[in-house]
Chains A and B, each alone.
Chain A
Amino acid sequence: MSNTFRLTSGGEINRAERISFKFNGKNLFGYKGDTLASALLANGIHLVGRSFKYHRPRGFLGSGSEEPNAIVQLHKDKAKTEPNIRATQIEIFEGLEAKSQNCWPSVNFDISEINNFLSPILPAGFYYKTFMWPAKFWKKYEYFIRKSAGLGFAPTKRDPDLYEHQYYHCEVLVIGSGPAGLTAAMIAAQSGKKVLLVDEKPEHGGSLVGSNDQVTRIDNKTPKEWIQNTYLELLKNKNIKILNRTSVAAYHNYNYLIMMQNLTDHLNENDKKNKIRQRLWKVRAEKVILATGSIERTMVFDCNDRPGIMLSSAVRKYLNHYGVKCGNNVIIFSNNDDAYETALSLHDKGVKIKAIIDIRKESNGELVKNCVDLGIKIMWKHTIVKAEGHKRINEVVIMKLSSDNNSVVGDKIKISCDLLCVSGGYTPAVHLFTQSGGKLAFDEKKFYFYPEKTSLDQISIGSCSGIFNLKKIIQNTYIKVNTFLKTNIKDKTIVSDYKSGGFDNIWLLPSNKISGKTKSFIDFQNDSTANDIKLALREGFKSIEHVKRYTTTGMATDQGKIANMHALGIISDITKTKMGELGTTTFRPPFTPLTFGALVGRNVKEFFDVTRETPMHIWHKNNGAKFEDVGQWKRAWYYPINNESMYNAVQRESKAARENAGILDASTLGKIDIQGSDASEFLNRVYTNAWSKLGISKCRYGLMLNEDGMVYDDGVTTRLGENHYIMTTTTGGAATVMSKLEDYLQTEWPELKVFLTSVTDHFATVSVCGPHSKKILEKVVKNINFADQEFPHMSFKEGIIDNIKCRVMRISFTGELSYEINIQANYGKAVWEKCMKAGKEFNITPYGTEAMHLLRAEKGFVIVGQETDGTVTPGDLQMDWIINKKKYDFIGKRSLYRSDTMKEGRKQMVGLLTENPNEVLEEGAQIVAEIKKNPPMEMLGHVTSSYFSPNLKKSIALAVIKNGKNLKGKKLYIPMKKKVIEVIVSDTIFLDKEGSRLNG
């Protein structure tokens, strides 16, 4: 087959540039400017897909983004393949490959079509009533359900394309470059304002594209000439930017809009290379003009979904714009005059119109008269009751309507055809308007929702505001835009159009069969029928939001662009509720689907999130460290040598730290510089313990609670001077603690003279611990006297390393003799290397976060976020010693004696030793008092930290258990999947209970 349905001349395609492409493996050709839809239609192909549930044969309905049926899988390449792309929007390029979806083995012969025959047991919501019993078969059902769900296939490799984001500010944004939009843009541009004009299509002109040259003239030009002329005029203005192939996805509050611009999808492979594929524009506009047009409606009757049933305006566009006739024997089915423009176009191009079926009694419109004059047969007050044909329509069955339109009368009339153009009127495209918070009103006489009220700086013009006559559109646009922009541009347009007849509307056309015996489709993509709507109403669903979800009407990738109005109309008729009272379901962004790539932009791979590295990072990397993510930081986790496993590395590091010396990069912990004459008072209020008497150059561990009494953060704070402290926080808490302290200072205690500065990134911190740590520090910081009497535990000294000042704190998180050097960040790596060199003779061993966790656990030190989870008080941690009883108040104090915080049976932190010392518990494992044959067993608590201690040669763990403080020595049980582990509740300090190791 080759382009047998292409007219020999006419259309906007470039007949000099032939393009080959593949559809379902078949080689075909079209021309530059064709969409996949127009090219396939030119080749006589209508069957392009199978419907979601019933696998019915489906063909093209429309010509634009409203297309529900012709969605294809585009690209073969596993990284670029995309499902559910509307063939009506794919611009063909050389080498394009596309496939039908949701059919197997082929679109022509699809095994799942059996679903169509099973349809009586597959109505809307059938899955709520099936697959329930027996429950244990669910796993088997799920496998098949997953296989049949969805339409196309997701890519299985990383997206190789480039995407970008762009911010843009403008004074006037015009959405839509149809006749109204182009006119509005002209007025705005002439006023000198900064204008952005966008349209989702590659061509400008909106509804004028593909219109009949003889029927419409603007300024004595054909529509095509007028569009071209206007566009060139607009380009002369420097203050207007025009974007085509740009779809507005979302309209948010405060005139903030997101739109997606397609840059390369229509180009061939060579021209696409290394270019940005799509650009997401984030636009803030002072004023917005919505000119989004309207969408033609189908008609709802039995089997209205057959391939070859198309919207009349689409057929017209394929004919006049793409030079493609969609059939040879045409029937037109209408309730308005617009379809007669299609009839005239078809007739002009020599296509046979067998009849026009019109549900109206009559029309005195000019176009109707022209058709009558041409001898085209019109059957007034008739309706189609069924469309026959399987993979292509081949016949329509027609009957006369009763005078009240509620039923059909008389005999069936059958007319054969290969194309049926339907025209049910137009629905204003109010999606963006409602997204922006606008309120709609329903026009009872004209059967559409139109924009009524908005609180934003915005107007709607053209057919999206409910005006369909071209002359009126242009006039109204001048009036509205001049008022909106406070301009005074004169309307000099001469529009010659035609007098139009009236409009009659029947949402669900009557039939000679009961509705249960018909398949009248409302939502083509999700296969929901008029019957499904009726079923939902019968089952008691009243709200349109419920009916929508129960029947899945309007929930497919086309978001009900064609389906919504008829669904509402049928609900309104059956429930006898006014449509205006029913309202519409909520329109949500995006208007048409967006790619993930566009949404993410450049933030992929290493740009997905910020990575924070310490000044010593490169040393860790070069020395084989494996890293763990702590927030955005990369922290050295362990340093495996000679291919050892993580377990072995951590055992080795933990042993070395206590036997000789260990060195840890602690730079990521939060550091806050606190200054001011009220600094001590401030610390008293934010920590649980006492700070007023802390001497200068002394360090103290502080615990911070939330106002609800739960442990929030902890760290050592050092007094550097009279009114100067440096606080440390956990790595993860750095920013939040800083925020919280600022909050209190600004909003509760503005009278305190305290100034906070985050200095986390300013200082690198090298921590050296172990019996030889003192000797190592002596070699590195030569001007400090490290003798114990001079430099006791929990104190601070200023030091000098190679003429650079540093701070040395003697504090310990491992329980070993330990010192921390804090130095300006850019010297961090040098100091680390100095310590490594000085420690070489003592076998200094770098250790990571995993060994650090193990070492502190041996000493029973808590880690906020590991032992605590926001529900744990200091009392629960058996840390009553850190609550100062004398202080009047501190953050969280009052909550410590709420009845809930003081009650018996709270979970308290304890140690656990396993009966089998080699058995290491799993963190998170649940603990019970008694093993029963079957659940339930009362869970007393869980394991928070667990390790095999190389220093104690046995497994140790920390846990929080109900009433833990009274359970010391008790045997408890941990039921795992395949075994039960016995444990004894122990003290939380496993090693060096006296703390003598702190002195080396």
Chain B
Amino acid sequence: MFIIKCPYCGERDHSEFSHGGEAHINRPKKPTELSDDQWAEYLFMRKNIKGLQYERWNHAHGCRQWFNVARDTSNDKIHFVYKMGENPPK
């Protein structure tokens, strides 16, 4: 139902995309140096914000590219969209 602006394809209907969870979680480069708790933090712990949330989305039925979205979960308003690997604009 929302309209998401894919950074590569432009505005498309929500049903073309699939959600990929919280954004900006980097896979640790040195997993052997992490304790079980630290590794579990990466594996399992995710924020669940009522309000502005940064998420990963994939244009599954389109260009199949991953990108990031800043969405307000309380009203589904999408504030901005930015490419994978970029930081959210201020």
Spell out A's residues near B (CB within 8 Å): 252-254, 256, 284, 437, 455, 707-708, 739, 742-743, 746-748, 750, 888-889, 893-895, 898-899
Contact = CB atoms under 8 A, between A and B. Distances in A.
24 contacts: A253-B2, A253-B75, A253-B76, A254-B1, A254-B3, A254-B76, A256-B1, A284-B3, A707-B43, A708-B43, A739-B60, A743-B20, A743-B66, A746-B66, A747-B56, A747-B84, A748-B26, A748-B27, A750-B84, A888-B32, A894-B34, A894-B39, A895-B39, A898-B40
Given A437-B75, A746-B65, A747-B84, A893 B31 contact: yes
B64 A742 contact: yes
A253 B1 CA distance: 6
A102 B16 CA distance: 45
A758 to B, nearest CB: 10
Given A252-B1, A253-B76, A743 B43 contact: no
A898 B1 contact: no
Contact of B31 (A253, A256, A455, A889): A889
Interface string B29-63: 00110101001100100000000000010101000
Given A253-B2, A254-B2, A742-B64, 10 more contacts: A253-B1, A253-B76, A256-B1, A708-B43, A739-B60, A748-B27, A888-B32, A889-B31, A889-B32, A898-B39
B1 A743 contact: no
Contacts of A888: 32
A550 to B, nearest CB: 28
Nearest to A744: B27
Contacts of B65: 746
B77 interface: yes
Nearest to A735: B60
Contacts of B26: 748
B89 interface: no
B84 A746 contact: yes
Given A455-B75, A743-B66, A898 B36 contact: yes
A719 to B, nearest CB: 25
A747 B31 CA distance: 17
Contacts of B27: 707, 748
Contacts of A707: 27, 43
Nearest to A756: B64
Interface string B14-29: 0000001000001100
B10 interface: no
Contacts of A747: 56, 66, 84-85
A161 B36 CA distance: 59
Q: Which of A437, A742, A894 has the most CB of B within 10 A?
A: A894
Nearest to A900: B36
A284 B34 CA distance: 49
4 closest pairs, A vs B, by CB? A894-B31, A252-B1, A746-B66, A256-B1
Contacts of B75: 253, 437, 455
B66 to A, nearest CB: 5
A986 B42 CA distance: 39
A660 B1 CA distance: 57
Contacts of A743: 20, 58, 66
A750 B85 contact: yes
Nearest to B3: A254
A254 B15 CA distance: 13
B7 to A, nearest CB: 12
A895 B44 CA distance: 12
Nearest to B27: A748
A746 B26 CA distance: 12
A204 B39 CA distance: 64
B32 A894 contact: yes
A746 B2 CA distance: 24
Nearest to B72: A455
A893 B77 CA distance: 38
A893 B39 CA distance: 11
A252 B3 CA distance: 12
Given A252-B1, A455-B77, A743-B58, A895 B66 contact: no
Contacts of A742: 64, 66
Contacts of A437: 75
Nearest to A891: B27
Contacts of A739: 58, 60
A743 B39 CA distance: 20
B40 to A, nearest CB: 7
Contacts of A252: 1
Contacts of A895: 39, 43
A399 to B, nearest CB: 50
B27 to A, nearest CB: 5
A895 B40 CA distance: 9
A204 to B, nearest CB: 29
B2 A899 contact: no
Contacts of B77: 455
Contacts of B39: 894-895, 898
A899 B36 contact: yes
A253 B65 CA distance: 25
Contacts of B2: 253-254
Contacts of A750: 84-85
Contacts of A455: 75, 77
A475 to B, nearest CB: 32
Nearest to A706: B43
A256 B76 CA distance: 13
A747 B26 CA distance: 9
B41 to A, nearest CB: 12
A254 B11 CA distance: 12
Contacts of B36: 898-899
A726 B13 CA distance: 34
A252 B66 CA distance: 26
